[in-house]
Structure 1
């Protein structure tokens, strides 16, 4: 049976499913030689030009670099370093737009060339056969070589994967994409160097057979390679039919070997490795010449160029620089710059993007050459896409699932086997951009898988940490257990164990005895003994249960006594609280009585002296208030067991539990007493004893209103009398017009108010007072003594304000008093009356002072 290698040597070629035959358009650029590279004014080098991770920067802004000098470094095979294409100065390291289908930006090293093109140190290995495979692979990685066929996979990584497992090495020279001729011209002009690169790869991977695969539309390249491989039986030049996409990795493997690469697998799984001719040439330059990958061949084509041909281009050269070199005249209606061919290429946003390691073609077609899409239309289910798919997929189904974001179905239908060749979109009559849907779906799936992998790694780390903590805990417990065992053995060995055990036993026994003694009280023990005796007696008499009736009676009696003691304690506590509250109220009443008496004395005697001496009546009032406060303080120290006549009404006041509440009750009583006094003044303004005869049963609210009206009228008469013979002692301090001396009249009025308060307190004993807000003071202090002092000061200030108000408007205040809405809120009426009196007193004092001056 003939072997596979013998079939390949005999020229047998297989076929793959699908494929198309688009217009080639290769003759425009393949018939002329490759132009040398020119140095642009600025070089922009992306730090990542391959599949994998970017390297670590080795230069900074302002550094001078030489040609071939490494600019980045990395220690992993999945990363390719970047080297300086020419000598110059690093002027910036910043994000720039790169050649990407989405027009993304990436970190780039910007070099300003010095146009001297000075080389740095070269690290060549001309005797590569004397170097180990691992050293050669690492040398290829350090030279920054990546796949130059379009994918950009790191060459060192691919060599490491296929090392010692490759049977057939395939060099891909098919170059099936329309318009692109870079590999064709390279094979025609550098066939000998390509063969040298093949020998390096053979030394590394040791294949059984090496095949150079070319399409039959490249006769010049085929002849050049056959000439270069003469006398090398292990290298076969194989010609395959021209069909797109025969240059795809899996498709070319099927053409050469007849084998299919499994889904989600790599060619190394079936013993095959593939390298592009441009990658092989770069490996030769890196190993034998010591030159890193700093330039490549780029096809410049399209009818908008005056000259279409291939050119060597330094990596990082702006595309606009190359287009200007070839006479680019953009289409005025549709300006397009495509990186790659018309099938797998992508349009860039502007021509100022740099050339990278995977840039094999720059296509600038006119509108007539490649007509723009007229827009996506509905699918007609013609199945042309499925027939053209070289990967035997169902493009229509994949597009539906990708559009619906059903990524699980996309994976189920082997979306990642799609090579994005564009054959399905090329044959679609509805012009559906199928490849764009597939690229988007792949990107979303990769992102989702990355998140899932991160979550899995986090879960694994958490579980590993949890397991480690469990192990540490068990190890710690084992250590403690072992230490205790060692201590026990040591004590047993030294004889201390028995003594310790005996001591522990004694402590336990003692604690048990103490607990039993504590729990067993003498009475309880006697009761238990008595109960046991009864049980024994009952058992002796033949009874099943003893007679416990007497014990039951005793228990009931004890319960009754306990209840009585409890009730007696509760009543005693209530009586004590009531007694304390009563004593507090009595003390407050005594203090108020003494304060009033002191105030009357201070007003009758010192007030006359002070007025004769010309002293200010305001200061006299303040002094009287202070005297009253001191009197109250002294009265509170008197024994509460001997209540006076003034305290009797206070005992009838509602008793509160807290001293603050007692002070509030006292203030309420004073407010009601003032209302009764005002009623007495309204009936008999000239008589001091009239408030004592005031009927207690009358409504105090109406009495307050009547008193206010009477005072207003009295003030009006007093002012009329003052207008004729004004004197210094004519201040109306809440007195009747019949008095000659205003100070004595004030004293008489104070006495009348005191008597009225007593009558009001008696009335409160018969009808409990309502919760009226205190007019003159609000006892917010914790100590009732302080509350009394504050109330006295407040009353003094109120009298001053009343005197001043009487001077300004003596007649106008009567009407508002009469119109006071007493029916709505009696509390507010009382407050309004007190405020009016205070303002009137203050106005009168001011007027008297002015007259004296």
Structure 2
């Protein structure tokens, strides 16, 4: 990848070969329903959903098969009709590489939908109260389709005034073109979804940020918003990581989100174009989130392209729809080469966060070379879009000095990989940062558990002391009552008489 410089609204960053033309040269194709669907109960940030179906039960497309468990959770729906053949742990696409509970559906080839949707479609969303709209978004199981997978209804329930909604159409990661194609081919549905979101947020206006290398998407969005003065399409420079939430905000508005803060802290909410379309489909068509656009690309794929794929589809099935492998991939990733993670197999299912399946040919991506000692060149600091000190963070993370790393704003790192990309010593800097964050989170969990245990112990001690005081007070009262009764009782008369 060539590294060039170009002016932008945030410091640092890189200009990378985007390699999006590989998959963006073909229109989105609707993928067939596979013979089997594997639907993880955790496809979003927060608590996994709870199954409400049994093995052997026949389910229909759009049917709720797992309900939300807690506030930060959303349901899971059947992506097609068929029979539930298993509810068990299966490997899922996750950076940990671990298995998780899944509902497995053997499809029947009929793709039969529910006779009646689980909620009523709304012809005029502007006439409906915002609470009802947010409840539909939750029931539809919509989680952010940009990759983070945060439940969308929560971001539509900010609890504070929102000035502007931002739609992140930058999609700066190389190879990935799912949002680009979606904006080019379904701009009208995205804009309708934006109007629903504006109503739900009670926000005044919306800015759609699109990088300047997506000409068809820009033209389609401008045509779709021509009659809507509250929605502006704004073109931003193509520069990685322009699609980072805080970076796009700074480019579009000049505002900086506070350290470890949220866009809401500066009156903004950010959503993905795919999420906006899913919101429209849920509200206007009573359609839950059962599919998404997925980029299948890389030098090892015969015909890179974008698919609208049912959630739960095995990745291998999509790769076969793209012509299969021309040769064994050198690396298999979910996501792009900068922020994606390695997959142990192509048998894993497509989930709500699957924006790209990248099967790179051997040597296509930067090879994993042995790390050498840091030479203190400062290149990592020069490209950091957050203006952190990557070298210092590396030393503290490596030395397990996590308090010092946190003091240097470790949690502001968006793990974009710019520092590792330019490091001449090939140090896997982001891996150190992720490890440090994980350790800090683990320490905080242990501290919270210890604090909770201490609070329970102290509460028990207070309760025992209170009960002891109450017992002593009760004994004292009984003793006083007995003494009072004894004092009030007259002495019996002396029947013996005095001696004469």
TM range (shorter): over 0.9
1:128 aligns with 2:122: no
Instruction: Report the alpha carbon displacement of residue 331 of structure 1 after superposing the two structures with TM.
Output: 3.7
Instruction: Report the alpha carbon displacement of residue 491 of structure 1 after superposing the two structures with TM.
Output: 6.1
CA distance in 2, matches of 1:210, 1:371: 38
Instruction: Report the alpha carbon displacement of residue 462 of structure 1 after superposing the two structures with TM.
Output: 1.7
CA distance in 1, matches of 2:129, 2:160: 13
Aligned to 2:359: 364
Quick one: structure 1 residues 474 and 58, their matched pair in 2 at CA, closer, same or farther if it must change by over 3 Å?
A: same
CA distance in 2, matches of 1:314, 1:447: 35
Quick one: structure 1 residues 372 and 331, their matched pair in 2 at CA, closer, same or farther if it must change by over 3 Å?
A: farther
CA distance in 2, matches of 1:58, 1:400: 48
CA distance in 1, matches of 2:33, 2:72: 30
Q: Compare 391-400 and 120-129 and name the one that shifted more.
A: 120-129
The 5 A counterparts of 1:577-616 are none
1:342 aligns with 2:334: no
8 Å contact from structure 1 (residues 77, 154) kept in 2: no
Secondary structure of the corresponding residue to residue 28 of structure 2: coil
The 5 A counterparts of 1:721-736 are none
1:218 aligns with 2:214: yes
Instruction: Report the alpha carbon displacement of residue 267 of structure 1 after superposing the two structures with TM.
Output: 1.5
| Post-superposition CA distance 1:334-385 (Å, at most 9, x none) | 6321111111111111110110101001111212422422222221111111
Secondary structure of the corresponding residue to residue 364 of structure 1: strand
Instruction: Report the alpha carbon displacement of residue 490 of structure 1 after superposing the two structures with TM.
Output: 5.9
Aligned to 2:145: 148
Instruction: Report the alpha carbon displacement of residue 330 of structure 1 after superposing the two structures with TM.
Output: 5.2
Instruction: Report the alpha carbon displacement of residue 465 of structure 1 after superposing the two structures with TM.
Output: 2.2
Secondary structure of the corresponding residue to residue 309 of structure 2: strand
8 Å contact from structure 2 (residues 48, 69) kept in 1: no
Unmatched tracts of structure 1, length 5 or more: 1-12, 504-853
Aligned to 2:379: 384
Secondary structure of the corresponding residue to residue 52 of structure 1: coil
8 Å contact from structure 2 (residues 371, 428) kept in 1: yes
Aligned to 2:154: 157
CA distance in 2, matches of 1:477, 1:167: 61
- Computed over aligned residues only, the root mean square deviation of the Cα atoms, in angstroms, reads 2.1
Instruction: Report the alpha carbon displacement of residue 124 of structure 1 after superposing the two structures with TM.
Output: 3.2
Quick one: structure 1 residues 359 and 471, their matched pair in 2 at CA, closer, same or farther if it must change by over 3 Å?
A: same
Which of 60, 67, 89 is the aligned partner of 2:61? Answer: 67
| Post-superposition CA distance 1:550-585 (Å, at most 9, x none) | xxxxxxxxxxxxxxxxxxxxxxxxxxxxxxxxxxxx
1:352 aligns with 2:347: yes
Aligned to 1:193: 189
1:325 aligns with 2:321: yes
Which of 102, 105, 116 is the aligned partner of 1:111? Answer: 105
Aligned to 1:171: 167
| Post-superposition CA distance 1:142-195 (Å, at most 9, x none) | 2111111011111122222x2442112111111111111101111111111111
Instruction: Report the alpha carbon displacement of residue 44 of structure 1 after superposing the two structures with TM.
Output: 0.8
Aligned to 2:291: 295
CA distance in 1, matches of 2:14, 2:252: 19
Secondary structure of the corresponding residue to residue 461 of structure 1: helix
Instruction: Report the alpha carbon displacement of residue 485 of structure 1 after superposing the two structures with TM.
Output: 4.8
8 Å contact from structure 1 (residues 20, 388) kept in 2: yes
Aligned to 2:29: 35
Secondary structure of the corresponding residue to residue 197 of structure 1: helix
CA distance in 2, matches of 1:115, 1:284: 27
Name which one, 1 or 2, has greater alpha-carbon Rg. Answer: 1
1:86 aligns with 2:80: yes
Aligned to 2:96: 102
Instruction: Report the alpha carbon displacement of residue 302 of structure 1 after superposing the two structures with TM.
Output: 1.2
Instruction: Report the alpha carbon displacement of residue 486 of structure 1 after superposing the two structures with TM.
Output: 5.2
Secondary structure of the corresponding residue to residue 71 of structure 1: strand
CA distance in 2, matches of 1:269, 1:491: 72
| Post-superposition CA distance 1:714-739 (Å, at most 9, x none) | xxxxxxxxxxxxxxxxxxxxxxxxxx
CA distance in 2, matches of 1:364, 1:32: 18
Aligned to 2:457: 462
1:431 aligns with 2:426: yes
Determine which structure has greater relative contact order: mean sequence separation of CA pairs < 8 Å that are 6+ residues apart, divided by chain length: 2
Unmatched tracts of structure 2, length 5 or more: 1-6, 495-500
Count of paired positions: 485
Secondary structure of the corresponding residue to residue 308 of structure 2: strand
Instruction: Report the alpha carbon displacement of residue 489 of structure 1 after superposing the two structures with TM.
Output: 5.5
Secondary structure of the corresponding residue to residue 468 of structure 1: helix
CA distance in 1, matches of 2:227, 2:197: 18
Instruction: Report the alpha carbon displacement of residue 315 of structure 1 after superposing the two structures with TM.
Output: 0.6
Secondary structure of the corresponding residue to residue 51 of structure 1: coil
Which of 136, 140, 152 is the aligned partner of 1:139? Answer: 136
Which of 39, 50, 63 is the aligned partner of 1:45? Answer: 39
Quick one: structure 1 residues 315 and 398, their matched pair in 2 at CA, closer, same or farther if it must change by over 3 Å?
A: same
8 Å contact from structure 2 (residues 50, 69) kept in 1: no
CA distance in 1, matches of 2:51, 2:471: 47
| Post-superposition CA distance 1:214-247 (Å, at most 9, x none) | 1111121111111111222221111111110010
Which of 391, 395, 398 is the aligned partner of 2:393? Answer: 398
- TM-score, with length taken from structure 1: 0.55
Aligned to 1:235: 231
CA distance in 2, matches of 1:420, 1:204: 31
Which of 436, 440, 450 is the aligned partner of 1:441? Answer: 436
Secondary structure of the corresponding residue to residue 467 of structure 2: helix
Greater strand proportion: 2
Secondary structure of the corresponding residue to residue 221 of structure 1: helix
| Post-superposition CA distance 1:623-644 (Å, at most 9, x none) | xxxxxxxxxxxxxxxxxxxxxx
CA distance in 1, matches of 2:106, 2:35: 7
Which of 247, 260, 278 is the aligned partner of 2:274? Answer: 278
CA distance in 1, matches of 2:479, 2:199: 67
Aligned to 1:704: none
CA distance in 1, matches of 2:38, 2:141: 17
CA distance in 2, matches of 1:467, 1:264: 37
